[in-house]
Amino acid sequence: MNLMHLKVFKTLAETENLSKTSKLLDLSQPSINHNIYILEEHYKAKLFDRSNKKLKLTRFGEVLLHYVTDILQLIEKSEQHIQTMISEVKGHLSLGASHTIAENVIPKIMGMFNHDYPEVEIQLEVTNTQHIVDHIMEKKLDIGLIEGPVQEENIISQSFMQDELLVVLPFNHPLAVKKNLTLKELASLPFVLREKGSGTREVMESALTRAGLDLRTLKTVMELGNTQAVIGAVEAGLGATILSGLAVSKEIQLKTVKTCKISNVSIVRNFSLIYHKLHPLSSICETFLSFISSKDTLKIFKDN
């Protein structure tokens, strides 16, 4: 049973005539009869009395018509309400996103959001976490999506999804056959890292320090300003790195890099939404925050 069955039933109940119903709904008479048959099978009751070549509701049909009328009215009201909401969400939204989120999360989310709210114009600034925090404070951005922790007391931060950082090695590296590296093995590798101020780097350094690794023992051979440059350097054999598993999913499939974990060390972080505590959120911002935190939106990443 579906919505069309109910619409056919209500129209036939009102017209009491197959021909009129056929014209109103642009359906053949056999199709109308089939819709009514499905409803009668569902309810195990005759809905129309066809004696004397006239169509009249049975007492079961009269009961159903009462409920179907309410159901269809509620559905129409819900459609009108949602369309009104969509039409009200229009204007400009200024977002800032750190590199990993901008490259691996934002494209899918923006595509879905634009589909639901086509009247919203989104401006996206891609930079590191510290710059996003600064621009939120300066009112240059409405909302930030970041990887690292925030220390500023006037910033509100709320997690919207989790991400795991992994050791990334050139595909043919001798240690790439291992699932887990020890801290000693990690310290023996040359490293290509994101720049200072990067959320990825801050989370990595914090986790390794807690695990007992002296960061001064890391052999940093290069610092680069974006994730794709770091991945390219690893693919070229210039060193290893620690990055989001999301960031290297394509390279793993292409077999240009391999990933592994660190023994007894889990580097799991939250991706967070941030905005200024003292700046009132517009209806567009409220809608975006609700949208990006919904289970249906985040399901696209769990399914991949």
Instruction: Judge if 178 and 243 occupy the same domain.
Output: yes
279 and 143 in a common domain = yes
Of the residues 48, 66, 88, which one is the last residue of a structural domain? Answer: 88
In the predicted structure, residue 292 carries a pLDDT above the cut 60: yes
Residues 108, 98, 272, CA angle at the centre, nearest 5°? 80
* Mean pLDDT for the stretch of residues 272-298: 86
What pLDDT score was predicted for residue 251? 95
From 113, 114, 13, select the one nearest 55 (Cα to Cα).
Answer: 13
**For residues 46 and 57, what is the distance between their CA atoms, to the nearest angstrom?**
9
Q: How confident is the model at residue 88 (pLDDT cuts 50, 70, 90)?
A: low
Same domain as 219, residue 132? no
Same domain, 186 and 222: yes
- Picking from 24, 55, 88, the residue at the C-terminal end of a domain is 88
Half-sphere exposure at residue 270, Cβ-oriented, CA atoms within 13 angstroms: 10
Widest distance between CA atoms in the chain: 96
Is residue 111 domain-shared with residue 149, that is, in the same domain? Answer: yes
Do 258 and 168 fall within a single domain? yes
User: Looking at 99-108, 178-187, 230-239, which range is the least confident one?
Assistant: 99-108
For the domain that residue 288 is a member of, what is the CATH number?
3.40.190.10
Q: How would you classify residue 237: left for phi > 0, otherwise alpha for psi between -120 and 50, otherwise beta?
A: left
Question: What pLDDT, on a 0 to 100 scale, did the predictor assign at position 274?
Answer: 95
Would you say residue 143 has pLDDT above 90? yes
Burial of 10 (0-12, 13-18, 19+ CB in 10 A): middle
Instruction: Specify the number of domains making up the chain.
Output: 3
123 shares its domain with 249:
no
User: How does residue 270 score in pLDDT terms, banded at 50, 70 and 90?
Assistant: confident
Task: Encode pLDDT of 249-259 as tens digits.
Answer: 899 999 999 99
Q: For position 219, what pLDDT does the model report?
A: 92
What percent of the chain shows pLDDT beyond 90?
55
Looking at the fold, whether 169 and 147 belong to one and the same domain comes out as no
Same domain for 82 and 11: yes
- Rounded CA Rg of the chain: 29
Q: Which of 268, 299, 297, 271 is nearest to 158 (CA)?
A: 271
237: β partners: none
pLDDT at position 119 over 90: no
Using alpha carbons only, give the angle 246, 99, 201 rounded to the nearest 5 degrees. 80
pLDDT of residue 50: 82
Using CA atoms, how far apart are residues 265 and 208, in angstroms rounded to an integer? 8
Q: How far apart are CA 139 and CA 194, in angstroms?
A: 26
30: domain CATH number is 1.10.10.10
Range of the domain at 127: 93-160+274-302
pLDDT band for position 197 (cuts 50, 70, 90):
confident
Query: 88, 118, 136: which is the final residue of a domain?
Result: 88
Q: How confident is the model at residue 173 (pLDDT cuts 50, 70, 90)?
A: very high
Which residue carries 């000693």 as its tokens? 184
Give how far the C-alpha of residue 33 lies from the chain's centroid of Cα atoms, to the nearest Å.
43
First to last CA, the chain: 33
Average pLDDT over residues 153-159: 91
Position 200 scores a pLDDT of: 85
| 60-75 pLDDT, tens digit each | 999 999 999 999 999 9
Residue of 127, 64, 106, 71 whose CA lies nearest to 247: 106
Q: Do 280 and 155 sit in the same domain of this protein?
A: yes
More reliable by pLDDT, 149 or 46: 46
Kindly tell me the sign of the dihedral angle through the C-alpha atoms of 22, 28, 29, 31: negative
Same domain, yes or no: 172 and 257: yes
With contact defined as beta carbons under 8 Å apart, do 239 and 167 qualify? no
pLDDT at 304 over 60: no
Write down the mean pLDDT value for the chain. 89
Q: Contact, 194 vs 230, CB < 8 A?
A: yes
* Helix, strand or coil, per DSSP, at residue 177: helix
**Poorest-confidence range of 72-81, 91-100, 130-139?**
72-81
Judgement on whether residues 185 and 265 belong to the same structural domain of the protein: yes
